[in-house]
Each structure stands twice: as C-alpha cells, then as structure tokens.
Structure 1
Amino acid sequence: MQELSVDVAIVGTGTAGMAAYRAARQHTERVLAIESGPYGTTCARVGCMPSKLLIAAAEAAHAVQQAAGFGVRVQGAQVDGRAVMQRVRSERDRFVGFVTESVDAWPDAHRLRGHARFVAPGVLEVDGQKRIRAGRIVIATGSEPQIDPAWRTTLGDRLLTQDALFDWQDLPESVLVLGTGVIALELAQALHRLGVRVRLIGRSQRVGPLTDPALQALGRDILGAELPLSLGLPQPALRREGDAVVLSLDGREERFEWVLAATGRRPRLQGLGLAHGGLPLDAHGVPQFDRHTGQVGAHPVFIAGDATAELQLLHEAADEGRIAGDNAGRWPDLRVRPRRAPLAVVFSDPQIAMVGRSHAELLQAGVAFETGRVSFADQGRSRVMRKNQGALHLYADRQDGRLLGAEMIGPAAEHLGHLLAWSVQRGDTVQQMLDSPFYHPVVEEGLRTALRDLQRLLRLPPPPVEHCLDCGT
C-alpha cells in the first residue's frame, strides 16, 4: 500500500473544504485535499443556485398570473416545462463549472480522488490503496438528504430528493412534498407556481424556521392560503400503485407522480471511521468541536461546514472552512476567530428571514427583551407592489436597547435581513438605528415603524417624527 505524509489533509472539497484548503496553504504547501464524489459544491450542484433558478422561473410565471391586479391583462401565457428545466440545468452546470475550474487549478500533488476513512489517529486510508499520515486533518464532508428508510422501501424509484430534482428534463404533473422546512417550502411553492399540482405534508404544525409563535401562525396562514398544507402527520399513509404514489388523507385518496423527500439534511459522516480516529462524538455521532477554532476536542483534527450539523448555510461553511484550515495550517498556534451574526433567508414568497438570536433562543436563555412589531399589510411601498403580506418582529435588550435579533416573513426579507444582521453584529441600539437614514417610499420604512414600537416599549425618548401624509407610513 502506498504511503504519503502531509502536514494537512482535508477530507471533502465543497465550500468548507475549498476554504480550508486556501487557508491551510497560507502556512504550508504539504496539503492534500481528498474527494470521493464529483467536484462542485452542494450550493452550486444541488442547492442554492439550481433552486433559485427554479424559483426565478416561478416568480416570472407568478408575475404574469398576478398582472391583472395592476390592470394589466395577459393572454396566451404558458409554462414550457422543458424550457424551464433546460435553463435550470444549463445555468446550474455553468455555476458548477466555475467551482470545478478552481479545484482543477490546484497542483496535482494537492488533489486525491477516493473515499477516505480513519484507520488510526492521524492516519487516513483511501480506497484501501493509499495510506495518508497527516499532521492535521480537516473534516469537510458536507451533508446529504435525510430520508426515512421506510419511505424508500414503500416508494422505490418514485421517491426523490432535491439532489435528483434538478436533472428533470421536464416538469411533472404532480409532486407530493414530504416536509415543511426551508427546502420543502422553496421547491413546493416554485413547482406550484409553474403549474405542478403540489401538496406538502408536515410532521408537526410548524412551517419554516420561524420560532416566534405569532409569526409562525401568520406564516402558516399566508403560505397555507396558496399551498395545500397537511400538518401534524409524522407518518403519512402512502402506497405505491404502478408508477404512481397514493396518499390516503381524511378518507380520500390523492395520486402523485413523484414524492419529494425534503425533510432536512444530515452530516455525511458514514464510513469515515471516526471511532478509529479517537475523536469525541456526540449522541448523533458528530465530532464535538469548538466553533471558534474548529478544533475537535484536543486533537489536531478540525471540522467545518455542513459536517458539523450546526448551520448548513454556504456563508457559514465558508467561514468555518477558513477558520478550520487556518488553524490546521498554523497548528499548534491556534487562533480564536469571532463568528458573524447569524443570518438565514428562505426564498419563499413572502420571504422569511432569521437574524441574530431567535425568539425561542432568547426565551430559553432567560434574556429580558422587548419586541417591536410591524405589519406589512398597510405598509406603503408593500401595497404599491401588491406584496403587502407578513410582519417583522425585532428583539431588543431591555437594559441597554441593543438589537439582539429579528424574525420576519414579508417582502424584501433577504435585504432587510442583511441590514438587521449588520446592526446585530455591530451591537447597534434601537436609537442608533433610528438615527440612520430611511428613504421614501421603501419597504425599509416598515423597519422604522418596528423600531419606533421598540423605542416606545423601551421608554426611550422619541426622535423627531417623520410621517408620510401621502401613504400613512
């Protein structure tokens, strides 16, 4: 068996692995990146980018369908499913190409194809043919769809995940979506707006990531008004009949062409032989690590990205990869790196944003906070665009007025979420935020309304009132 010796071995070349490689290489050229699957990140190949391509097509179709509300009559519009999926695949492949070109540019000696597993602390074996002795190891193996094994047994090839959906040649007639989380909401709504008959099945009563009870209820109402939702069904009654799947629900049966399992993703750690690495693992078999250094226990092993089972988001994976790779490269001179304010966005319509500490996290921590609220139902710019649905809740420290977090379902949440995340990270107070400029007429004026509500609850002196007599905001 061939043996190699390196300073840093990185298992996985997704977003986290690529960031770890670049960071480690700042300290040593004896770096080896090992990949068992195709190059190209989860985001580019099966995640963020292809899903947003599908959503963009759905938004175009929906705009045509809603044009009459503006007095614009559209006739003869139709969705060409083959053309939609052709653009999704073509643009997806373009994004993947950018990633693979980056990896292909690495020196040949820095790349190895094959499945790596621990055989001893600091020792990896690749496909039973090569043994890698590494001074430090970075685990960046990413994630994979989490599927109930019973569904596979019952549904066979009629069950698919988002990983397979984007290879469709055409849009199907019907899809049953199992799950009501981020992936399920985005894909189900997009397919629905493109003319696919859709139903969502949820294990619990929750829809999306919102933890604020009032916003969670509002989200169920808004999304449920457009999408057929069946909640509180941990084990839906499904059976296979030929090339169809039959759902039995409330005494009736509904047939679907496909079932999309969108019940979350889990770290891809199976077959990695973590027990042979002597690493401390939690109850789910995930290495226990310091999120500010990436280090696993006291070992010269680091972990980053979706493999941590924490925040499965591209920007978090990139940050974690950079932290883990840098510390692996400079070992044993570890550096503690501050983490950015949490920010997550759901590209449903209306969009959902989670910023900083959530309502549930603040309650669990026993933090004394106030909640500022605004509804977008009558917000000026939102009504102009016919996007006047949803609400924003801001959470501020009762003692010093600092913004702690926010939850939102409403228009332009992807943009408001960034403004709020920046304020949380800077430690802005409600007063400092109100002292910032607000243009008119913009959706951000809704943020100002929520800040004023917080100011009142915190009993802060009010700023000069700027009131729009034209639109009531």
Structure 2
Amino acid sequence: MNTAKSGFDLAVIGSGSAAFAAAIAATNQGKRVVMVERGTAGGTCVNVGCVPSKALLAAAEARHGALAAGRFPGLTAAEVPVGFPDLIGGKDALVAQLRAEKYTDLADGYGWEIVHGTAAFTGTTDAPALDVALNDGGNSRIEAAHYLIATGSAPWAPPVPGLEDAGYLTSTTAMELDVLPESMVVVGGNAVGLELAQLFARLGTRVSVVEALDRLAPFEEPEVSAAFEEVFTGEGIAVHTGAALAAVRRDEPGYTLTVSGGAPAELRAEQLLIATGRRPVTAGLNLDTVGVKTGARGEVVVDDYLRTSNERIWAAGDVAGGPQFVYVAAAQGSLAADNALAGAGRTLDYTALPRVTFTSPAIAAVGMTDAQVAEAGIRCDYRTLPLQYVPRALANRDTRGLVKLVADADTGRVLGVHVIADGAGEIITAATYAITAGMTVAQLAHAWVPYLTMAEALKLAAQTFTADVAKLSCCAG
C-alpha cells in the first residue's frame, strides 16, 4: 500500500537525541513535525550507548567496591558472584523504561507521528521529498518544508585481514551477551574501549587492551594517560600500546590475534571486542539526489548553522561529523530546528565543551591541552596536582589520579582542565563554568569550595601556581 503525507514543516530522519530535541523545538513553535525511524525509537544513547553501558558500569563498580574493601582498615574484601543473564536483563528493563519515558511517550505527548520505516531522499534539489519503505510493508511519500538528517553513527571496524570472516563484538553486541566471557581482547584504547574493558574485567573476565597509538586515552594529556594505564595494570588488565591488529583467526575455543609492535606476536581470547570508533550513518539516504554533500568519513557537510548544501535540508548530531556526545546532539537538534523554522541564525560555541570517560576513576577534560595552547601562540603555564594532596581522596583511601590546569601565562586565564579522579565529571562541570566565565587561576584559587569534596582538587590545583600545597593546612585555605 502506497500513501502520501504532506504539509509538514519539518520531517526528521532518525529518532535519537538530536531528532527529539529538534522535534520538541519545532512543536513548541507550533510547527507540524513527522519523524521516520527504521529501527528502535530512541537512538544510540538510550538503547545501546550511554544508558546501558553506564548501568552495567555501575553494577561492575559495586562488585569491585566489595573486592577492594580491604583498602579500609577493619574491612575485608568480599567476593560477589555475578548472575550475568540477570544483570543484562536488569539493564534491558532500565533501557525499556527510559525509552518509553524519554522518547516514545514524549512523542505521543507532543503530538508528532513516528513513521516506522527506512527513508531515502527522492525528487530534486529544488523539490526534495522522502520515500519511506515501511517496516510493515508498503511505501509512503513524505513532503515537508524542511528536512533534518539525524541518523547518528554506528560502530566502525578497521580493514584487518580475517576480521570480517571471524566476526567480532561491538559496543552494542557486547552488552547483549548472555554469558560472561572468560577472556576478552578489546581493540581500541579510547573512551568506549576503556569503559567496556573495565566493565568486563570487574565482572571477572580476563581482559587485554590493544591500542595502536602509543598510549591509552591517546587524545588526553600524557599525564592522564600514564595515570590511567597504572589504574588498568593495577586491576589486572593487560595493556598493549603501540600495537596494531594485523590479522584475526577464529576457531572453536576463540580468537587468535596477530599483533605488530607493542605486544606479544599473538594474543588469544574467547571474545574479541572492536572499539575503534564510530562513523556517521548516511548509506542509503540518496543524498546525491538532492544535492547534499558528504565528507571523507561519510559525514553530512554542514555550515555553522547546521544547514547542508541544500538550503532545505539540515543535519545534527553524530551524522554531521562533530563531537559525538548526546548533549551535543541535543543542542544541535534544537539549533537546527530554530534556524530552519524561525530563521534564528544561531550557532554553537564549543570552546568549553566538556567530555567524560566513565571509568573508575573517571577521565574528564574541558578546554585546551598545553600543546594546543602553545600551538595557538599563547604563552602557556600549567600545573599538575596528584590526588595524594586532596583530602577527599585520602579519606576515600584512593589517590589514583590527578588534576592538571592549563593557563595563559600572561593573563592567568584558565584555558584547560584535565582530570582523572572519582567524580571527575562533577569536577569538570565546575571547570566548564570557570572557563566559560573567563576565570583566572587566582580567582579559582580563592573561590569557595566545600571541604572534603573532590571538587576541592580544582581549587588546590589552582593554588599550586603560587604555593606548595603540601605545606597548606586543611580546607585549601
């Protein structure tokens, strides 16, 4: 059965964070919206990304806390058995709850329709439309004044001999296993790989991490990478950096990996997880038909206003090739809707965009590295504070980590903050506000901070520019 739908102000392809933010912004303007989703509504974050991974990480951390209780005098480490199928089932229940509360029920409440099918552009540059192959059969033609591409990204694997034939886990399928593996090799030492490696290791899997670049967390400050490698090795996770995956074989017991440089020539494991990044999802959209340009990685090329090379078509979120964070996607979705439908002419400032890797301790950063400051021609000054000087870390009996402050040496203005610590996400939020406000190191050093919080590390790090914190009394006074 073929149907036609027209008269929409905005047609959105995708149903993740960018898509929903745009649809909400549009309906709040009184506009008529339709959304097309080929799979499960809600996009990456709630279904296979942030929500399920953080739920499982929290469970793994609870188990690890029991095993690490012996660091406190008077407590004894305790072994906590893992009921892995129940753990996955609990994760799935939480995902279903949040998918309903934050996505499908919201669409019903705001009153826009979600069409379940696969969309592709048709028509011409001047008169674009969508052909939708409906999931339940038939086709539908959708016409709108403006279109938003919000199809997100998907896990990407490098072209390694034998990899496709052998098969492998991705960040999605790893969280759908029904049996906890005895051993696993994680290829990729950035955020996703680090989170999943620690997750499985803390549940009892023997884990090795292989990273092609010369350090874990290779895009963070070198001090952060070094501190984090100590965390992993301290928890029994084998780390192989400067190691490229060269070939993969699979037999009944598991995988044999050939690795060049930085590791034994061969690694064996029951499971193989590839966490080497994500690529925008644009295949099959027929973008050429309507004059929408794409970049080298398949990303939709947009201007600062998120308009594509077709003035009626916009893109937001991972598919537009920017920072792959759900909060960026949401901000871009709202912006695209405002610009398309209200001529708002808005742009986004990414200067103080924070990021967090949700390991334990967590890694977080905002602003520039010292190398970036120097490259920008700014005279740089920086200090690094180990957590052994932070009272809260001492009370927690866990001083793994540090805070690094990067500043303009001439003005004292804070330009970057880099943290590895429990609560790093909360610390970096305060740092984000400080950078946004243009605060100096001196202002940060004299700001009010509650005693025995991890956020006090930010103030103490600022004080290291003018004092020896080892000689200070309590309360970072």
Identify whether the pair has TM-score above 0.5, normalized to the shorter chain. yes
| One of 44, 48, 68 as aligned partner of 1:46 | 48
Which range is displaced more, 76-85 or 223-232? 76-85
Letter aligned with residue 229 of structure 1: V
* Change in CA separation of 1:251 and 1:374 when aligned onto 2, cut-off 3 Å: closer
| One of 89, 92, 96 as aligned partner of 1:89 | 92
Q: How do 1:39-78 residues align onto structure 2 when only pairs under 5 Å count?
A: 39-71=41-73, 72-75=75-78, 77-78=80-81
Segments of 4+ moved more than 6 angstroms: 470-473
In structure 1, the partner of 2:377 is: 366
The answer to whether the Cα contact below 8 Å between 1:375 and 1:392 also exists between their aligned partners in 2 is yes
| One of 365, 371, 376 as aligned partner of 1:354 | 365
Q: What is the deviation of 1:455?
A: 5.1
Partner Cα separation in structure 2 for residue 90 and residue 321 of structure 1: 27
Q: What is the deviation of 1:353?
A: 0.4
In structure 1, the partner of 2:145 is: 135
Q: Tell me whether 1:174 sits opposite 2:176 in the alignment.
A: no
Partner Cα separation in structure 1 for residue 335 and residue 315 of structure 2: 9
Q: How do 1:45-444 residues align onto structure 2 when only pairs under 5 Å count?
A: 45-71=47-73, 72-75=75-78, 77-98=80-101, 99-107=103-111, 110-119=113-122, 120-121=124-125, 122-127=128-133, 129-150=139-160, 152-156=163-167, 159-208=168-217, 210-226=219-235, 227-242=237-252, 244-248=254-258, 253-291=266-304, 293-297=305-309, 299-330=311-342, 333-339=343-349, 341-444=352-455
* Change in CA separation of 1:471 and 1:174 when aligned onto 2, cut-off 3 Å: same
* Change in CA separation of 1:132 and 1:243 when aligned onto 2, cut-off 3 Å: farther
Q: What is the deviation of 1:89?
A: 2.2
Which range is displaced more, 307-316 or 229-238? 229-238
Deviations 1:51-91 (A, max 9, x none): 11111111111111111121312455433323322322222
* Change in CA separation of 1:16 and 1:359 when aligned onto 2, cut-off 3 Å: farther
Which range is displaced more, 428-437 or 251-260? 251-260
Q: Secondary structure at the match of 1:281?
A: coil
Partner Cα separation in structure 2 for residue 202 and residue 229 of structure 1: 8
Q: Secondary structure at the match of 1:310?
A: coil
Deviations 1:272-313 (A, max 9, x none): 11211212333333222234x222246222111111221111
Partner Cα separation in structure 2 for residue 434 and residue 472 of structure 1: 9
Which range is displaced more, 338-347 or 279-288? 279-288
Q: What is the deviation of 1:135?
A: 1.8
* Change in CA separation of 1:253 and 1:337 when aligned onto 2, cut-off 3 Å: closer
Which range is displaced more, 347-356 or 11-20? 347-356
Aligned residues, how many?
460
* Change in CA separation of 1:153 and 1:298 when aligned onto 2, cut-off 3 Å: closer
Partner Cα separation in structure 2 for residue 251 and residue 439 of structure 1: 48
Letter aligned with residue 78 of structure 1: P
Which range is displaced more, 409-418 or 128-137? 128-137
* Change in CA separation of 1:141 and 1:427 when aligned onto 2, cut-off 3 Å: same
Letter aligned with residue 308 of structure 1: A
TM-score (norm 1): 0.89
The answer to whether the Cα contact below 8 Å between 1:289 and 1:303 also exists between their aligned partners in 2 is yes
Q: Secondary structure at the match of 2:19?
A: helix
Q: Secondary structure at the match of 1:160?
A: coil
The answer to whether the Cα contact below 8 Å between 1:24 and 1:327 also exists between their aligned partners in 2 is no
In structure 2, the partner of 1:459 is: none
* Change in CA separation of 1:391 and 1:76 when aligned onto 2, cut-off 3 Å: closer
The answer to whether the Cα contact below 8 Å between 1:176 and 1:260 also exists between their aligned partners in 2 is yes
Letter aligned with residue 210 of structure 2: I
Deviations 1:142-178 (A, max 9, x none): 111012354542313xx11121222223322222211
* Change in CA separation of 1:81 and 1:133 when aligned onto 2, cut-off 3 Å: closer
The answer to whether the Cα contact below 8 Å between 1:139 and 1:304 also exists between their aligned partners in 2 is yes
Q: What is the deviation of 1:217?
A: 2.9
Deviations 1:125-146 (A, max 9, x none): 2228333332211111111101
Q: Tell me whether 1:34 sits opposite 2:30 in the alignment.
A: no
* Change in CA separation of 1:238 and 1:431 when aligned onto 2, cut-off 3 Å: same
Q: Secondary structure at the match of 1:245?
A: strand
The answer to whether the Cα contact below 8 Å between 1:379 and 1:443 also exists between their aligned partners in 2 is yes
The answer to whether the Cα contact below 8 Å between 2:46 and 2:99 also exists between their aligned partners in 1 is yes
The answer to whether the Cα contact below 8 Å between 1:342 and 1:357 also exists between their aligned partners in 2 is no
Letter aligned with residue 85 of structure 1: I
Partner Cα separation in structure 1 for residue 349 and residue 265 of structure 2: 50
What is the alpha-carbon root mean square deviation over aligned residues?
2.6
Partner Cα separation in structure 2 for residue 303 and residue 363 of structure 1: 33
Letter aligned with residue 442 of structure 1: T
Letter aligned with residue 143 of structure 1: S
Q: What is the deviation of 1:210?
A: 4.2
* Change in CA separation of 1:470 and 1:300 when aligned onto 2, cut-off 3 Å: closer
The answer to whether the Cα contact below 8 Å between 1:8 and 1:135 also exists between their aligned partners in 2 is yes
Partner Cα separation in structure 1 for residue 83 and residue 383 of structure 2: 44
Q: Secondary structure at the match of 2:464?
A: helix
Partner Cα separation in structure 2 for residue 75 and residue 270 of structure 1: 50
Q: What is the deviation of 1:443?
A: 2.5
